Amino acid sequence: MAVRLVILGPPGAGKGTQAERFARGRGVPRISTGDILREAVQAGTELGRASKALMDAGQLVSDEIVFGIVRERVVRPDANEGFVLDGFPRTVTQARLLDSVLKGAPPLVVVNIEIPESALVERLTTRRICANCGWNAVTGLTACARCGGPLVQRKDDGVEVVKERLRVYARETEPLVEFYESRPTFRCVDGDQTPDAVAADLAAAVASVGGVPA
Ligand code: AMP
């Protein structure tokens, strides 16, 4: 059964890791606005040029730009059976725009990954991604397990930018919990566990919404 899943949570909560696992398991695309924007920056497109400075500073790209990306992506054929949104929506305006584009579709399942703020700075400033394919590296590896590429720190994972991203999250994105929490398809999971345990809780949370086997 199609599942249209939004994974919410602060930077460093494990949204990317969990979104990728869940999407792979269900055979649906993971749609990460952060990945799409980073690819655009690397490719030097107009979108990338418009976004780079904001991303490097830990600020949000405009609602119009990111909604334009998502609106076009969710109607592609590979998203017919569902999708996992990772890093979108990030503002209440984006959430309203998403509702408007999905009007008439089965309701979104929204899962908030909860994690104490004290764990986030350490997680973000020590994480590494693959310079070639963007894979989120598991701690302790020296090369990408997927393509063998070199592991690097994300440009916005330095300590000062991380602190700004957490401030932006608290101001712009945390209000989304209130926006969604009264819906019957909203769930929370504890993100302060091993990735396997979070994945199990996420699957159970989605299943508990009904009609979707874990
Ligand atoms: P992420 O990989 O999700 O942490 O996103 C990295 C950066 O891309 C963010 O800090 C923002 O600058 C930008 N970005 C990604 N998704 C969005 C969004 N939904 N709204 C605004 N900016 C975004």
Cis-peptide into 89, omega within 30 deg: yes
Q: How many CB atoms lie within 10 A of CB 197?
A: 13
pLDDT band at 1 (very low <50, low <70, confident <90, very high): low
**Cβ partners under 8 Å of residue 208, min gap 6:** 187
For the CA atoms of 85, 91, 95, 101, the dihedral, rounded to the nearest 10 degrees, stands at -80
Domain boundaries, the chain: 3-115+160-207
CA 114 and chain centroid, separation: 14
Give CA–CA dist 33/152, Å, rounded: 20
CB of 61 closer than 6 angstroms to any ligand 1 atom: yes
* CA 63 / ligand 1 centre spacing (Å): 10
Catalytic residue among 26, 127, 128, 187: 127
Sheet containing strand 109-114, strands side by side: 30-32, 82-86, 3-8, 109-114, 186-190
For residue 23 and ligand 1, the question of a CB distance below 6 A is answered with: no
Read off the pLDDT of residues 88-119 as tens digits, 9 standing for 90 and up.
999 999 999 999 999 888 899 999 999 998 89
pLDDT digits (tens, 9 = 90+) for 165-178: 999 999 999 999 99
User: Does residue 21 have an active-site annotation?
Assistant: no
Active site residue 187: no
Residue 11 Cα to ligand 1 middle (Å):
9
Q: Which residue has the higher pLDDT, 110 or 141?
A: 110
Active site residue 90: yes
- 129 touches ligand 1 (CB under 6 Å): no
pLDDT confidence tier of residue 137, bands split at 50, 70 and 90: confident
Are 201 and 192 in contact, with CB atoms under 8 Å apart? Answer: no
- For atom 1 of ligand 1, which residue has the closest CA? 34
Q: Which of 21, 38, 52, 90 is catalytic?
A: 90
- The phi-psi region of residue 210 (left if phi > 0; otherwise alpha if psi is between -120 and 50; otherwise beta) is left
What's the CA-to-centroid distance between 62 and ligand 1, angstroms?
10
- The rounded distance, in Å, linking the Cα atoms of 60 and 57 is 9
Q: How many whole angstroms separate alpha carbon 126 and alpha carbon 140?
A: 10
pTM listed for this prediction: 0.91
- Region of poorest pLDDT, from 47-61, 66-80, 115-129: 115-129
Q: Distance (Å, rounded) from C-alpha 178 to C-alpha 192?
A: 21
pLDDT at 190: 98
SS3 call for 156:
helix
pLDDT of residue 104: 82
Query: How much is the average pLDDT of 22-51?
Result: 95
Active site residue 15: yes
Cβ 74 under 6 angstroms from ligand 1: no
| CATH class held by domain 3-115+160-207 | alpha beta
**Residue 163 falls in the annotated catalytic set:** no
Q: How far is the CA of 134 from the centre of ligand 1 (A)?
A: 15
Q: Which atom of ligand 1 is nearest to the CA of 62?
A: 21
